[in-house]
Amino acid sequence: MGKFWKVLIAIVGFITGFLFLSSKKDKIKFDKKIKSNKKKLDLISKKTDKVTKDKAKTKSKIKATKSKIKTTKSKIKANKLPPSFKENFEKKYRKKK
3-class SS of residue 97: coil
Q: Kindly tell me if the per-residue pLDDT of 5 is higher than 60.
A: yes
pLDDT at site 96: 62
Q: Which residues of 58-89 are buried (b: 16+ CB within 10 A; e: fewer)?
A: eeeeeeeeeeeeeeeeeeeeeeeeeeeeeeee
**What's the rounded Cα separation, in Å, for the pair 92 and 85?**
11
Query: Per residue in 16-44, pLDDT tens?
Result: 888 887 777 778 888 899 999 999 999 99
Query: Per residue in 62-92, pLDDT tens?
Result: 999 999 999 988 887 777 767 777 777 777 7
Whole-model pTM? 0.46
